[in-house]
């Protein structure tokens, strides 16, 4: 039986963050929006994150997520995750229970090509979700929540409740280049032809998901 692991959570590891500016048309057609977000997209920066948590409240797991941008939630403009895969059933269960995050199980593989280059593959039920080849360069630079704008407040609707969660992040970033990418748009937004504004790898990652504020409307 899957055990409850209440918030807050402290996670550490490494991962990649890609910053985009998605059009409203792209988000509405390809963003896997739940019904409550269909007409509330407000724009701003969007994000894709590929994380490898070496430690968390439920042990190690990997993660791929999509944040289209900001949405209007009761006169508040906040970010929301609309598609997310994780490699752990414990993370799926507690992600929904603690923060209303719509996590699904995915199969993750990392293949090291060289010291600064790797391929990450994600599948759902043996079907390809994403294959991405990444190359990292440059000297590490400290990064924190003041620099990464998504690391503020997320809002998710789950079981007719709204979960407002503060997220804090820190680590050391280096710039990254996407040299090859393939996405199955049935399972994840196909951003293969959209160039990110910024692509970074974060090492020595520290991430905190606080206990959410839960509202019924």
Which pLDDT score is estimated for 16? 97
Which pLDDT score is estimated for 74? 78
**pLDDT (tens digit per residue) in 40-55:** 999 999 999 999 999 9
Q: Domains in the chain, ordered, with CATH?
A: 9-215 (2.40.400.10)
State both tokens at 134.
Answer: 């990444």
Average pLDDT of the chain to the nearest whole number: 95
**pLDDT (tens digit per residue) in 101-157:** 999 999 999 999 999 999 999 999 999 999 999 999 999 999 988 777 655 789 999
**pLDDT (tens digit per residue) in 160-176:** 999 999 999 999 999 99
Which pLDDT score is estimated for 148? 74
Which pLDDT score is estimated for 215? 92
For the chain, the first-to-last Cα distance in angstroms comes to: 32
Q: Which residues of the chain form beta strands (DSSP E)?
A: 9-20, 41-43, 46-55, 61-67, 70-73, 76-79, 83-86, 103-105, 107-114, 117-124, 127-144, 153-158, 161-183, 198-209, 213-215
Residue found by looking up tokens 């704008």 in the block = 149
Which pLDDT score is estimated for 153? 85
Which pLDDT score is estimated for 150? 59
Question: Which pTM value belongs to this model?
Answer: 0.96
Which pLDDT score is estimated for 194? 96
Which pLDDT score is estimated for 149? 63
CA 158 to chain centre: 17
């Amino acid at each position: 039986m899957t055990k409850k692991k209440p918030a807050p959570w402290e996670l550490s590891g490494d991962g990649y963050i890609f910053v985009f500016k998605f059009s409203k048309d792209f988000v509405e057609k390809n963003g896997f929006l739940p019904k409550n977000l269909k007409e509330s997209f407000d724009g701003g920066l969007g994000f894709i994150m590929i994380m490898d948590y070496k430690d968390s409240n439920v042990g190690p797991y990997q993660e791929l997520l999509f944040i289209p941008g900001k949405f209007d939630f009761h006169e508040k403009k906040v970010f929301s995750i609309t598609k997310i895969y994780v490699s752990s059933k414990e993370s799926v269960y507690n992600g929904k229970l603690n923060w209303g995050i719509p996590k699904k199980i995915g199969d993750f593989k990392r293949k090291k090509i060289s010291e600064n280059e790797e391929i990450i593959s994600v599948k759902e039920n043996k079907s390809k979700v994403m294959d991405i080849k990444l190359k990292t360069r440059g000297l590490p630079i400290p990064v924190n929540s003041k620099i990464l704008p998504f690391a503020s407040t997320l809002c998710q609707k789950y079981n007719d409740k709204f979960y407002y969660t503060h997220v804090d992040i820190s680590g050391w970033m280096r710039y990254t280049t996407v040299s090859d990418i393939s996405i199955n748009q049935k399972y994840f937004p196909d951003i293969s032809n959209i160039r990110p504004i910024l692509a970074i790898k974060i090492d020595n990652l520290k991430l905190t998901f606080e206990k959410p504020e839960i509202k019924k409307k």
